[in-house]
Structure 1
Amino acid sequence: MAMTDEELFLASMGDVVPLAKSSQAELTQIKIEPTIAQLEKRKAAEQALSLDVNFLSTEYVDLLNPHDILAFKKPGVQEGVYKKLRLGKYQIDATIDLHGRRFHNARTALFEFIVDCHKDNIRALLLRHGIGLHSKPVPAILKSYINKWLQEIPEVLCFHSALRCDGGNGSTYVLLKKNDEQKTQTKEIYAKR
């Protein structure tokens, strides 16, 4: 007569003896305390993350050709204002050179520059970023991100590649919105009329 699976199992396990307590390995956890240097690094990293209000994207970007013209205008910007910017008619109040900077350094510098300029009532800017002909890993990577970042910044009204005398396609004119102080002054001027 054939044995069932359970009977086979019990028959094969019949002569098995449980291990004695002494033959079991004792596992003890050793807690390694972090060094002072590691604690300081962790603290600095946590502070940097909590203080970073930079919302500029580090995600995918549509790559541009090094010689492409950057051009963008938010809805509601008057055509005359945009044309004046495009033709370089605004007096440039501040300039930043991002040419040759690494990605994260350029991202941080651009964000801080725009925020500071807006806070200080500076509206007409010139960004020098280069055309990126020899950029690694791909040409015009920084220029492509500049194009994306400027569109993400709420203070930016419009931007356009600069005239040749100001850097051509390797530079960009940027016009910022008025800050609250400038808006109040403008309202007061027009209220007196």
Structure 2
Amino acid sequence: MADYEDNDDESRLFLDAVKDARPLKPSRLDQHPLPTPKPKPVPRQLLRDERQALADSLSDGYIPAHELESGEELLYLRDGHSPDILSKLRRGHWVVQAAIDLHGLVSDEARMYVAEFLAHCKKRGIRCVRIIHGKGLSSRNREPVLKHKLRNWLMQKDEVIAYAQARPQEGGSGAVIVLLKA
């Protein structure tokens, strides 16, 4: 019972303390809430331009000044780099950090996919990648169309130091291992 009496005393004290108080006038903020912030604009044209620049960075008509090729095996080493890099790459010295598969893609799709993949790897600091291009068993004339195009595309990219045909357990003649700049 004593608890109820204490509450009554406290209520009376409170009411006595606020008897001369007047309610506040409503402020402008109460009447009109703040507008929600507008979302940041999406630079659609910039994104389209960057995508087109990626597509334009790889050409099917590129004819390399020189390349190392032994039969059907793909080998390439950019000028100014040690031949040891190529032998280490062929032996699997570097760990493959990322890979893509071009199976089922037409040439233009594959070119864009490779360009975007290499740009992504460059941003993430990835050094060694595998690109599976296929052996061409499903294509017309049973020849690897993307294999030869990929060779030219990779030579056009400054971030590519070297590439070599993958070892048999990594895809053999249907894949290439690429070493990128740090």
TM-score, normalised on structure 2? 0.64
- Residue 104 of structure 1, CA deviation: 1.0
* 1:103 aligned residue (104, 107, 111): 107
Task: Look up the equivalent residue of 1:126 and give its one-letter code.
Answer: R
Provide closer, same or farther for how the CA distance between residues 134 and 124 of structure 1 changes in structure 2, counting only shifts above 3 A. Answer: same
- Residue 61 of structure 1, CA deviation: 7.0
TM-score, normalised on structure 1? 0.61
- Residue 137 of structure 1, CA deviation: 6.9
Match of 1:53 in 2: 53
The yes-or-no answer on 1:121 pairing with 2:125 is: yes
Count how many residue pairs are aligned between Structure 1 and Structure 2: 131
Task: Look up the equivalent residue of 1:171 and give its one-letter code.
Answer: A
Runs of 5+ unmatched residues, structure 2 = 1-43, 65-70
The yes-or-no answer on 1:86 pairing with 2:90 is: yes
Runs of 5+ unmatched residues, structure 1 = 1-43, 179-193
Which has the higher Rg, Structure 1 or Structure 2?
A: 2
Match of 1:161 in 2: 165
Provide closer, same or farther for how the CA distance between residues 137 and 50 of structure 1 changes in structure 2, counting only shifts above 3 A. Answer: farther
- Matched residues in 2 for 1:93 and 1:142: separation? 22
Task: Look up the equivalent residue of 2:144 and give its one-letter code.
Answer: A
> Identity of counterpart residues, as a percentage?
32
Question: Residue deviations 1:58-103, cap 9 Å, x none?
Answer: 33779xxxx8111100112112222110111211100011122111
Task: Look up the equivalent residue of 1:145 and give its one-letter code.
Answer: K
8 Å Cα contact 1:61/1:144 also seen in 2: no
8 Å Cα contact 2:60/2:153 also seen in 1: no
- Matched residues in 2 for 1:49 and 1:88: separation? 37
- Matched residues in 1 for 2:107 and 2:79: separation? 29
- Residue 50 of structure 1, CA deviation: 7.0
- Matched residues in 1 for 2:128 and 2:48: separation? 30
Match of 1:6 in 2: none
